[in-house]
Amino acid sequence: MNPLYHQAKFILSAPDLKSTPADTGREVAFAGRSNAGKSSALNTLSRQKSLARTSKTPGRTQLLNFFNLNEQQRFVDLPGYGYAKVPERVKRQWHILMETYLSERQSLYGIILVMDIRHPLTEFDWQMIEWCTYTKKPLHILLTKADKLNYGAAKNTLLKVQRELGELDFPVSVQLFSALKRTGVEEIHQLLDSWFQKTE
């Protein structure tokens, strides 16, 4: 198991691209609809209880949150989208922030897209998938809260999502994940290892 992820440290929250850390090295961004379990996934991957703030109120992440793994490797927690009861003006700001980061950030290598296994492939999820298809950024999907379904139902959902994504001209990997049961942690660690170790 790579101890790199256990060393993750929060460095800053950025309201815009100008406020982000230097655009060097390599970043992996975590995206997902509000309440999909993104913060819990980050905490589980890093073996830290409160690296990313979890909240009973979805949509609390309204900024780009940066976490250093070392000087050249980072995680980025993107604003949750689509569920939070916030004004339309704020949602528009989130959308602009996400779009700017995703299209202009040179150090962004790949996206981990977090989906609640009970509600996969929402409209927002498809927007992210289409963006990755367009930019050719590697994309991996975590079907979180897998413990909420029995194994057979979880496996069926995984196969259904894989079938739908199999129609794309772009490879997208998918896995089951549970922060509660720590299901799929080794699998996502191995994927992150391969992303961070690949040379330009």
CATH superfamily of 3-197: P-loop containing nucleotide triphosphate hydrolases (3.40.50.300)
Please state the pTM of the whole predicted model. Answer: 0.92
Q: What is the mean pLDDT of the chain?
A: 89
* Structure confidence by residue, pLDDT tens digits, 158-186: 999 999 999 999 999 999 999 999 999 99
* Structure confidence by residue, pLDDT tens digits, 59-116: 455 789 999 999 999 999 998 876 556 778 877 887 888 889 999 999 999 999 999 9
Domain boundaries, the chain: 3-197
Q: What is the Cα–Cα distance from 140 to 98, expressed in whole angstroms? A: 18
